[in-house]
Amino acid sequence: MDLIFVIILGGLWGSFANVCIYRLPKGKGVVSGRSFCPNCKKLITWKDNIPIISFLFLNGKCRNCKKKISPQYLLIELITIVCFLVIYYLFGITITTLLFLILGLSFIIIFFIDLKHYIIPNVLTFFLMIVGFIKSFDPNLNPIFPNYVNSLIGGIFGYLIIWSIIYFYKQIRKKEGMGLGDAKLLSAIGFWFGWISIPFVIFLSSVIALLSVIPSLLKKSKSMSSQIPFGPFIILGCILYIFFLEQYKNLLFG
């Protein structure tokens, strides 16, 4: 029963993530108004808005205009369900699980917004900063989370390291190299996991980003100055940090 509940919860929050991904870049409120078809603008009824089931039942098309619905909606709901299941499997029914559900859902929304629009909404990064810092005052939390001193240092360090990259790149190249949204996202990660997470995340995210653009550079479809969304790579770096935390600490401290 617990697994069924987690799957349903993941599907519902995945549907909410889709709303955020569509509305936030447009400056629209995520709770104002019902969902509608982007093509015909007709409101979507509750029976056509059931996560995964409605998409499959309608064969991925709007009931009214028969226009194809982006498979991204189904993909995000599935990713959210898998994310919730993994977190539940690792941490059970705990406060740690609740915190990681918040972080995971926020990461999914940021990932897809930045991937498409090259922006990271402040409402998401500021929310993560606040939650990340407040939770650090609880001494009984999972050891993966830092105390409030390390959390504060991590938040400041995360922001400053990317701000410094932006500043020096601009001085040398006379143009912007990264956005402050990336700095705020790394700062949020610092608040959540402390200063120790920042070197790992910035290094791994940079390596993954470089590896991802090498094929495009070889094909000359992109140049070294081409814009890429760095937020998704920061998120991937953070996920790897969470899974390889013990190995990372052993490498640093023996």
Q: pLDDT tier at 249 (50, 70, 90 boundaries)?
A: confident
pLDDT at site 39: 75
Residue 15 CA to residue 8 CA, distance in Å, equals 11
CA angle 120–122–125, rounded 5-degree value: 80
Per-residue pLDDT at 124 exceeds 90: yes
Residue 157 pLDDT greater than 60, yes or no: yes
Is 90 exceeded by the pLDDT of residue 8?
A: yes
pLDDT tens profile 177-209 = 677 899 999 999 999 999 999 999 999 999 999
Q: Could you report the per-residue pLDDT of 22-63, keeping only the tens digit for each?
A: 999 988 877 766 777 777 777 777 677 788 888 888 787 877
CA separation, residue 1 to residues 7, 50, 89, 93, 96 (Å)? 10, 20, 14, 13, 21
How much is the pLDDT for 155? Answer: 97
Instruction: Look up the pTM and report it.
Output: 0.91
**What value does the mean pLDDT take over residues 101-110?**
98
